[in-house]
Amino acid sequence: MSSYKIALNFEDGVTRFIDCKPGEKVLDAAYRSKVNLPMDCSDGVCGTCKCHAESGTYEMGSDYIDDALTEDEAAEGQVLTCQMVPTSDCVLAVPSTARACKTGQQKFATTVTKVAPHHDAAIVLELAMADGAAAPAFLPGQYVNIDVPGSGDSRSYSFSTAPGAARLGFLIKMIPGGLMSGWLAGAKPGDRLDLTGPMGSFYLRDADRPLLFLAGGTGLAPFLSMLEVLAQAGSQQQIHLIYGVTRDLDLVLVDEIAAYTARLPNFSFATVVADAASTHPRKGWVTQHMPTDMLASGAVDIYLCGPPPMVDAVRAYLKETGVKPASFHYEKFTPNMPLKASA
């Protein structure tokens, strides 16, 4: 392998990717990419460059003192970037802002290749990189800000496609009178859109436990990205997706979800409609259809993306039932507002 891709997730939500050569220390690779990660000594003495490795494999060696990184901290995934030598792609949480590290959000130009409405519920938007540029790296589940042409404003949308795909895909809620919905109504192939990102702490971690995905409305988008990554990796983990919507017409891309049952041997999904007048076989709220067998042991990673009432309801349900998953990552969104993620 010529290099490893290292995702640096800053505490202000900005993500930057750097390439780290085999045998190269992360701090050196960052400086080579003009990203000034925190440091004082660069010799494993001060601990200033301490970050948290959220995924990936690496070597730390022994050229640092215990005051800089204790044995307990190392066991918890804390690393010193001045000593860390990756042996795979990695994700690092950096306890500093991107601005403090003299870097920032990346902006890139794209052109529209597809605008496909799904009833009055959502729009599938696909984009190609302009001028043959390389597609941006991102983590499955992350989002970008898309500038709405002529408005001076932007909107936040999660990728629905996997990193490395030929096209960048998004699932956008159709809002009557909405800024982006209005622009998309007249959009045509070749129109330019400027994107900024990637951003967000809601993304797929190492899948070494059963996964429960909870999607509300167009909160389905990041899970489509995650499922594609899991399928490409040949995941054998148990994965269950619950997709909840308000009306029957809000159920979109169900065929795309179903296709993963053939590619992921332990994947299942259920759709739920809240409208009491619906004839859908599963009605009500997502919390009424949670798989008790997956939740019983707590050995499950839960990912949740949807509108605030849904996110709050699921959090309350887990608290009331005493369910403590191994990890719980969620992102709530409101139309015309930035995404907010937590873990």
pLDDT for the residue 91: 97
User: Domain for residue 156, yes or no?
Assistant: yes
User: Domain for residue 325, yes or no?
Assistant: yes
Is the predicted pLDDT of residue 237 greater than 80, yes or no? Answer: yes
Q: Are residues 224 and 256 in the same domain?
A: yes
Residue 333 banded pLDDT, cuts 50, 70, 90: confident
**Which structural domain range is residue 126 located in?**
106-199
pLDDT for the residue 273: 98
pLDDT for the residue 104: 86
pLDDT, mean of residues 206-222: 96
Q: Are residues 133 and 155 in the same domain?
A: yes
User: Domain for residue 99, yes or no?
Assistant: no
Q: Could you say which of 94, 126, 157 is where a domain stops?
A: 94
Q: Are residues 71 and 155 in the same domain?
A: no
pLDDT, mean of residues 222-241: 98
Q: Are residues 182 and 219 in the same domain?
A: no
How high is the mean pLDDT of the chain?
94
Q: Are residues 224 and 337 in the same domain?
A: yes
Q: Could you say which of 176, 199, 222 is where a domain stops?
A: 199
Q: What is the pLDDT of residues 3-49, one digit of tens each?
A: 999 999 999 989 999 999 999 999 999 999 999 999 999 899 999 99
pLDDT, mean of residues 304-308: 96
User: Domain for residue 206, yes or no?
Assistant: no
pTM of the model: 0.92
Residue 338 banded pLDDT, cuts 50, 70, 90: very low
Domain total in the chain: 3
Can you give the three-state secondary structure of the chain, one letter per residue? CCCEEEEEEECCCEEEEEEECCCCCHHHHHHHCCCCCCCCCCCCCCCCCEEEEEECCEECCCCCCCCCCCHHHHHCCEEECCCCEECCCEEEEECCCCCCCCCCCEEEEEEEEEEEEECCCEEEEEEEEHHHCCCCCCCCCCEEEEEECCCCEEEEEEECCCCCCCCEEEEEECCCCCHHHHHHHCCCCCCEEEEEEEECCCCCCCCCCCEEEEEEHHHHHHHHHHHHHHHHCCCCCCEEEEEEECCHHHCCCHHHHHHHHHHCCCEEEEEEECCCCCCCCCECCHHHHCCHHHHHCCCCEEEEEECHHHHHHHHHHHHHHCCCCCEEEEEECCCCCCCEEEC
Q: Are residues 142 and 195 in the same domain?
A: yes
Q: What is the pLDDT of residues 131-160, one digit of tens each?
A: 888 899 999 999 999 999 999 999 999 999
Q: Are residues 50 and 9 in the same domain?
A: yes
pLDDT for the residue 61: 81
Is the predicted pLDDT of residue 275 greater than 60, yes or no? Answer: yes
pLDDT for the residue 290: 94
Q: Could you say which of 94, 115, 141 is where a domain stops?
A: 94
- CATH of residue 317's domain is 3.40.50.80
Is the predicted pLDDT of residue 340 greater than 60, yes or no? Answer: no
pLDDT, mean of residues 100-121: 94
Q: Are residues 229 and 337 in the same domain?
A: yes
